[in-house]
Structure formats: C-alpha cells, structure tokens
Amino acid sequence: MGAGGRMTEKEREKQEQLGRAAGDAAMQRSPVDKPPFTLGQIKKAIPPHCFERSIIKSFSYVVHDLVIVAALLYFALVIIPALPSPLHLAAWPLYWIAQGCVCTGVWVIAHECGHHAFSDYSLLDDIVGLVLHSSLMVPYFSWKYSHRRHHSNTGSLERDEVFVPKKKEAMPWYTPYVYGNPVGRLVHIVVQLTLGWPLYLTTNASGRPYPRFACHYDPYGPIYNDRERIQIFISDAGVMAVSFALYKLAATFGFWWVVRIYAVPLLIVNAWLVLITYLQHTHPALPHYDSSEWDWLRGALATMDRDYGILNRVFHNITDTHVAHHLFSTMPHYHAMEATKAIKPILGEYYQFDPTPVAKATWREARECIYVEPEDCKGVFWYNNKF
C-alpha cells in the first residue's frame, strides 16, 4: 500500500456514481483501510512551532474580534437610527449578517479555549472560554466535555456525540416524504439551522443515544460524570447571568431592541455553528464505523475541509483546517493552515477537501446523506438516500 492510502476496487467503481450525484470531482470516497501512517508520523511532518500557543497572539484575535463587534454595535446604535427611512431598513440586515459572522469567530475562539488551544494555562483558557461562550448563551463547560467526547469518538456510530447518522431501519416512516421532495428538504434545512443548536443543547437532538434523557444544562444528566458536575453548574450560572443582563436591557430599552441588537445576530451565529459542523461531518465521501471497525485515527480522518471564501478568515479557519484540528485539537488556529499544508502529502487520499460552494453543498448533503448502511465491509457505513 502506498503512503497515500489505497481504495478498494469496489470503492473505485462507486467513484463515478458519486461524481454524478455531486456534480464535481471532489466526491472520491475516503479510503477505509488502516492508514499506512501513524499519528506520530503525521506530527513529525508538522513544524514544531505549530504546536506552540502564545497568550499574546491568542488575545490579539480576541481583541480584534471584539473591536469589530463594538464597531458594528456603534453602527447599529448610532448610525442606523440616523439613516433616512429606506436606508435604515436595508442597514439592519447588513448589521445582523456582519455581527453574526464576527461573533461566530468569537465562538470559535471560545471553542479553542475548550480544547486548551488558547494558551499553556488551562485555568486561563477556561476563564476566557467561559466569558466568551456565556456571552453567546453557550454553556461552556457542558459543551466542552461533550465536544471532547466527539473528538474522542469521531466517526463512531455508537459513541460519537454530534450529527450521528441513523441506519435505514431506524429512520421514521415519514423520512422519504421530508427528504424526497425539495419543499420538505428546504423546511428541514431551515429548521436545522434555526432550531438545531438549542435543540441539541436542551434535548440532545442529533446526538448519540443515552439510556435516559440527556440535556447539556443538567449537571446530573448521563452526558457527565461526577467530576464534571460542578463545572456544569458554573456553565449554567454563566448562561443565567447573561440571560439576566438581557432581561435588564429589555426592561430598559424594550424587548424588540434586544431582538434587533442581540437576538438576530445570535440566530446567525447558531446557524453558522450548525452548518459548519454539519458540513464537516456529513458528506457522501465520508465513512462511519461501527465498533467492529472503528479506531481513533480513521475516525478523526472521517471529516471534511470546506471552503467558505472570505469567511474562512472570519471563522479563524475552523472551516478549511478541520482535518488537522481533529488530529491535533490543542493546536492554535493561527498555525492550522501551515499544519494542513504539511500533512497533506502524508495523508494522501485520506485527506478530504471539498471546494463546492456552501449553499450547493448544503442542498446536496441534505439530498444525498439521509441514512447510512454497510456495503462491502459490514463495519463500514456509507451515506445513502434510496428508499
């Protein structure tokens, strides 16, 4: 087997069919053989400085993003009200979109804190992450621990934590009627982008099954162990503190003021978060594994880098360096591009990148990736949409 991995003959036969389904050449299936390289060999290909975390550099990104957030807030509070009637109606959507995108970048920095990729000091990472995530109504420690388990079990049908696909026999009876027509598919996408994140936090929607009801706000829920429970209380306190601050703002300036200034951009943040995660882990070229085949390295490689254009930088490249992030989650985002370039020759066919425009990819994945089923190997599952 070559250094870049190898596909089975059956997989090669599927490639043409996949290309037709996707409309581009980025649909070559990921190899599912045991990789001919180790994690240590991948790490040796990356310049050592890429693993160094700098407090000054990390905080420079926090300051950069928060300065833009403040400037956009000034635009909303001072400039938009002074605009003549037709213009201010058009200015609000511009504010919402821009603020939502920048705050998604803030979200990504808090996510880095949860991975201990912000600095060399875990306490500092947790303080920064708690403040930033709480400001976006995210229970920091609750999500930190469930997300850590996602990284430990990526690609596992039994133990992964988010966007875990179902087998065909587990799909509800109405599935073909929802996904099988453009209207139902569009409704599904809209619901997923608007309600997906709060439903995941409150009801574990799209997450792995637990023996009882699972909720990210429940310190005694099945997601967490005894050592983590006190931190779940702290996460809840952070969200409650921000909720109280929003209540006081609504009492002072009015409910619709809070909706315009804070809630609508937050909806956009949540939509980007769901979409980014969905597209990273949902693709016809990506396999999933049951316990008979899964191992950590193949699971970590079962993720897709995407191209969001200028938003790659706004989102601190979490979009186009996600493979490297899953391999080395404590690496700071500002080194991830260099690391990605370094590991591509080692990974070969195991590295997956799809440049399909985001809107087109979202529609395609919603159409093609309905459930998973095994093909040649019983423990390896691929997306399908045939009923």
Task: Note the pLDDT of residue 142.
Answer: 97
The pTM of this model reads: 0.92
Sign of CA dihedral 169, 171, 176, 180: negative
How does pLDDT run across 251-269, given as a tens digit for each residue? 999 999 999 999 999 999 9
Task: Note the pLDDT of residue 127.
Answer: 98
Mean pLDDT of 171-191: 93
Q: Encode 226-258: b = buried (16+ Cβ within 10 Å), e = exposed.
A: eebeebbebbbebbeebeeebeeebeeeeeeeb
Nearest CA among 372, 187, 378 for reference residue 285: 372
How does pLDDT run across 207-218, given as a tens digit for each residue? 899 999 999 999
Q: What distance in Å separates the CA atoms of residue 138 and residue 217, rounded to the nearest whole number?
A: 10
pLDDT confidence tier of residue 304, bands split at 50, 70 and 90: very high
